[in-house]
Structure 1
């Protein structure tokens, strides 16, 4: 039909091109896709046709992203930002759902020329480019785009976009960056979900694999070596690995740490872990000391990390408080059977019981220790390192 339309001399509209671009992308018709993208229709639009240009340029940029051509997609974004913002301030009557990486932005036809539609198209394009940057581990470029988007459009970034950054930095234990992302979300009014808080809290206490730790130590040793040769000048950034495609993104290590055994002092961040945990209760308007509250119900991974943090801070009473919160929540989920979280999180649950037993021994609370052991028998929990029931 498209070939017949061209043979009859009919100029295809953007409405006709949109499904063709999507179809050509899905079936791998590269030549057709290239021909559709090279259409000069946007050159006919003045800077006053912002909403129409936003829809056309967004569709074209999404197709470039499907071709992994991020530079061309970014040029479409820069071209879009030169248009005047529409004056129609009507709000789109529903939260538009769209699939990131595609051109499917669902906005009612009557609202496509509104101010909010223009910003929705623009935000979608921003976030699609940021996602590719994060996948390619170009975190600095992604952060620059995020800052530019927060300055340019009044709509806040979506929670999904923030979760991309959180996952990237949590995997590399960049705790300072996680604090920045958390503050940004609160400033933009985007409440972190359970996934985000799980990453915030567990990243402070999880142990990277030995190869990552060794890489940290090697980097610190190299910086210390070059710094010792020229004490008058600080080692330059060029001595470290460049922030490129193959950069690990791991945090720096102080110079005096040159052995793997000494790195554990900077791997764990119990203070940051408890700060994120308290912030989670604050955001849900829940009292952290109220174990019966149903406003905030942490999962097993969060409880495991928080109990580990309180153990490192030598606060056994708070360790037992979090254990009781976990048991109450699991009883609330499954009052008459084994909770499903025990099947999905066997190792974290075993560590939770082990830390609770250790805390009960520290404060010499034999009644609590017997209660913990009885609960283990009911749920069939096996400790990672067997402990005698005489404890």
Structure 2
């Protein structure tokens, strides 16, 4: 995973001390970069307004605007900027004032390298945790179609994203039996995404796995650098092959697009992939669903042709259950051989049940209940024989 570099502005009025601070920061931690420096609080505030850093190092006693006033202004305008006070022993009372402004870190001058290393390491962890939390909240809100409550950080604005809608088994209704939901939950827990993605797609910056409305579907979202070039479909194939032993006996379907996208297209792409998954998932079969598959697939214009329908009616009329069963299995095997998608099969079976219902004088079943059972059966089946 790529490490983010955090930006620093330094406010220090003594040139030699400023030079020493810059030298030591550059020497001790490559995860920080100094983007501006100033010799007083006023100039530092202008620099902060321009570059919007992650971190501010500030002396407390400076001309024009001192460090305490600078901290007050930064807290008012940019409350998320992390602040470190630079102070001498004689300035400790100033540092105490800063502590009341929610500043928790300070360094005594002259700076000691080991103390600076420790402070920067702690700050790096805190900043990373904070931005990870913000990014996750924004990505989750976006994938659900909700407007992000927070400003979109540059780490998301500048990244490219690859989305994989991942489905274990077949399409589910919103409500599934609790035992099935539990099974899916256990399968998801067995997936070590860090390990798998390290093999399949490297390098990447970050990843998120986000729940969908049904327990057997999740979005896998990768943030990749602009310089990263991969064949998204090839990676989907590798993901599928890696996940299959984990999801057994259920099939695994991944739905994706051909190109990476920027942040502003995540919601639109997620909606497209949801639609592609519904149109393209083949029950009991592991596959990659892409736009080309949906656009080029030619499905029969009718679910059950008139010749087959008339044959079914005659079998019902003559009460030939053996041939009726054979005809039914022939249809299922034909649909399976042609890899028809689940929704098409559900509609075809509903038509099949409708033919039976209309043919019987006094049907002993509720057609709506049967159609619901058809959907439930297909949802949890692992092969055609289950039907």
TM-score of the two chains, using structure 2 as the length reference? 0.23
**Structure exhibiting the larger radius of gyration computed from Cα positions:** 2
Q: TM-score with structure 1 length normalisation? A: 0.23
Kindly indicate whether structure 1 or structure 2 has the higher relative contact order, using CA contacts under 8 Å at least 6 residues apart. 2
